């Protein structure tokens, strides 16, 4: 089965400091912008009819708004973005240079562990002990069960129990959530290694220092992404510095900062200041939901591109074909998400490394229970890895139903009309008779529009004004239900309608 069923709908692994930074930057922007005018969010306060008499003042307000936004949000966001990670970037570069010195592998692993420990302390201080405990637990399990052939399954259960107990009993939820990204990276690395040992991809249990080097690889320990054990070993071989490597690092860094600025300073004010669209109460609700969705999306892209930067800077994230080295690590594909062909394409493009992890180690293992069961197990596993959060669980489980129903419906329509309307784009040599006809394009565009609707609806719960780390779970649950109620549960009703249509044409 294709890896189209997996996703990581939560923002990718990363420290909570950037969330606080985004809230402070937005607060400054709102304070500066609202001081000269009360129109910053005029579309939420006045009906459309009131917009016309305010054209002259509106132009002045918009101009003043952009000036204040630059000083109060754009510049502080870029500055703080660099302040938060410059030490991490330096450590990644130092490790990259060390790999090239021809040191013994044992010494390289030690330097990796030291760099990872120092980085964890920079971001989490003494709370990093919980990440260390998880890694020790995983290695102890692998060592004690080194002769077993089902280590992957049992270690997965053990890790999930540890994560759930940690969130519920070991420490307060707020501090636990701050480390959730790094906990996820450690968990996925250990689980993938266990499955690779079962399948013979990795010959034997690594030594303790080799295992810890992989777990605490400085390029991925904070922002991810997940990489395999063999990819880590290839990174330590120390490829030569090249222009393509430097270009990849630079481009990923610039993209990460652009996405951070858009998430902080553009998306929250998209309507009507950047796009002058007004509307009645219903339309304003959807416009606000789209703003929240855009802010959440670009926050994810920021972490994804930052993960590309750190992992590539540390020497990982390349492919090699016939002595041709390509630094081509890709975490997210924003164009496939903002202009989707289908929701199936969205969930695979959201976080490509995690999608591969879920497909390889969860979906394939659960496929013996049936396709639909494997899909739901995959999304449930993703939800548990992200922690006990109602809004994330609700979004992920909803995605499971949405992507499955969309896939089977479009598969049925493709067979019925002999047309290229599948969830994933057909290859040029496919056997469908109807390819580029107008009505085929209309069907595909309609499903693209549905995907945007689903994304807006699901993303509406990720409100930038709500701190999910500080809020009680009951408040988060109430917020999620309230947001979807305000949008009349549209996405769920549309999904039910698609399932009904599928049953009718079956």
- Hey, which residues are catalytic here? 386
Query: How far is C-alpha 295 from the geometric centre of its chain's CA atoms?
Result: 13
User: What dihedral angle (degrees, nearest 10) is formed by the CA atoms of 244, 250, 254, 259?
Assistant: 70
Asked if residue 189 lies in contact with residue 214, where contact means CB atoms within 8 angstroms, the answer is yes
86: its two tokens: 């410059």
Residues 187/156, Cβ–Cβ less than 8 Å? no
Beta bridge partners of 42: none
Q: What residues have CB less than 8 Å from 97, skipping those under 6 apart? A: none
Q: What is the SS3 assignment for 441-453?
A: HHHHHHHHHHHHH
How many whole angstroms from its chain centre is CA 314?
21
Cα-to-chain-centroid distance, residue 224: 10
- How many other C-beta atoms can be found within 10 angstroms of the C-beta atom of residue 294? 20
Tell me the C-alpha to C-alpha distance, in Å, between residue 296 and each of 243, 350, 457.
33, 12, 12
Name the helix (H) or strand (E) containing 357: helix 352-358
Element (H, E) at 142: helix 129-144
Q: How far apart are CA 458 and CA 477, in angstroms?
A: 14
Neighbours of 121 (CB within 10 A): 13
Longest C-alpha distance within the chain, in Å?
Answer: 78
Quickly count: other Cβ atoms within 10 Å of residue 157's Cβ: 11
Closest to 231 measured CA to CA, from 246, 213, 248: 213
Strand 324-326 and strand 319-321: the pairing is antiparallel
Distance CA 79, CA 71 (A): 11
Distance, first Cα to last Cα, the chain = 21
User: What residue has token string 């497909």?
Assistant: 359
Distance CA 184, CA 204 (A): 24
Q: Burial letters for 448-479: b for 16+ Cβ neighbours within 10 Å, e otherwise? A: bebbbbbbbbbbbbbbbebebbebeeeebeeb
Contact 357, 339 (CB under 8 A): no
């Amino acid at each position: 089965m294709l890896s189209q069923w997996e996703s990581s709908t939560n923002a990718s692994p990363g420290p909570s400091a950037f969330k606080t930074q985004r809230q402070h930057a937005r607060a400054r922007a709102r304070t500066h912008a609202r001081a000269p005018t009360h129109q910053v969010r005029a579309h939420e306060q006045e009906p459309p009819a009131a917009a016309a008499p305010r054209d002259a003042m509106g132009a002045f307000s918009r101009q003043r708004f952009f000036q204040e936004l630059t000083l109060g949000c754009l510049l502080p966001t870029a500055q703080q973005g660099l302040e938060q990670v410059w030490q991490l970037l330096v450590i990644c570069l130092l490790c990259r240079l060390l790999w090239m010195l021809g040191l013994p592998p044992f010494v390289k692993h030690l330097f990796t562990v030291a760099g990872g420990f120092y980085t964890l302390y920079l971001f989490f201080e003494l709370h990093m002990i919980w990440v260390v405990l998880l890694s020790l637990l995983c290695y102890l399990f692998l060592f004690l069960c080194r002769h077993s052939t089902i280590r992957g399954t049992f270690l997965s259960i053990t890790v999930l129990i540890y994560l759930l107990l940690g969130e519920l009993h070991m420490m307060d939820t707020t501090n636990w959530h701050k480390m959730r990204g790094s906990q996820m990276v450690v968990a996925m690395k250990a689980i993938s290694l266990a499955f690779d040992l079962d399948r013979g991809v990795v010959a034997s249990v690594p030594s303790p220092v080799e295992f810890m080097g992989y777990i605490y690889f400085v390029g991925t320990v904070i922002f991810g992404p997940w990489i395999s054990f063999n990819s880590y070993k290839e990174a330590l071989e120390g490829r030569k510095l090249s222009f393509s490597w430097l270009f990849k690092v630079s481009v990923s860094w610039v993209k990460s900062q652009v996405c951070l600025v858009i998430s902080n300073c553009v998306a929250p004010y998209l309507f009507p200041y950047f796009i002058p669209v007004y509307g009645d109460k219903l339309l304003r609700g959807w416009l606000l939901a789209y703003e929240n969705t855009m802010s959440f999306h670009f926050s994810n892209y920021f972490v994804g591109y930052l993960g590309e930067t750190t992992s590539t800077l540390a020497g990982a994230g390349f492919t090699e074909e016939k002595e041709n080295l390509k630094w081509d690590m890709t975490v997210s594909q924003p164009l496939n998400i903002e202009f989707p062909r289908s929701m199936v394409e969205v969930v695979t493009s959201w976080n490509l490394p995690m999608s591969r992890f879920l497909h390889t180690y969860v979906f394939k293992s659960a496929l013996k229970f049936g396709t639909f069961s494997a899909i739901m197990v995959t999304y449930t596993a993703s939800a548990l890895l992200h922690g006990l959060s109602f809004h994330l669980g609700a979004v992920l489980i909803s995605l499971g139903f949405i992507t499955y129903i969309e896939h089977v419906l479009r598969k049925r329509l493709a067979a019925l009309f002999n047309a290229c309307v599948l969830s994933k784009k057909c290859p040029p040599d496919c056997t469908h008779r109807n390819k580029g006809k107008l009505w085929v394009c209309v069907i595909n565009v309609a499903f693209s529009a549905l995907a945007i609707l689903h994304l807006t609806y699901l993303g509406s719960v990720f409100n930038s004004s709500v701190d999910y780390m500080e809020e009680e779970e009951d408040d988060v649950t109430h917020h999620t239900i309230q947001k979807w109620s305000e949008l009349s549960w549209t996405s769920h009703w549309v999904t039910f309608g698609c399932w009904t249509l599928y049953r009718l044409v079956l």
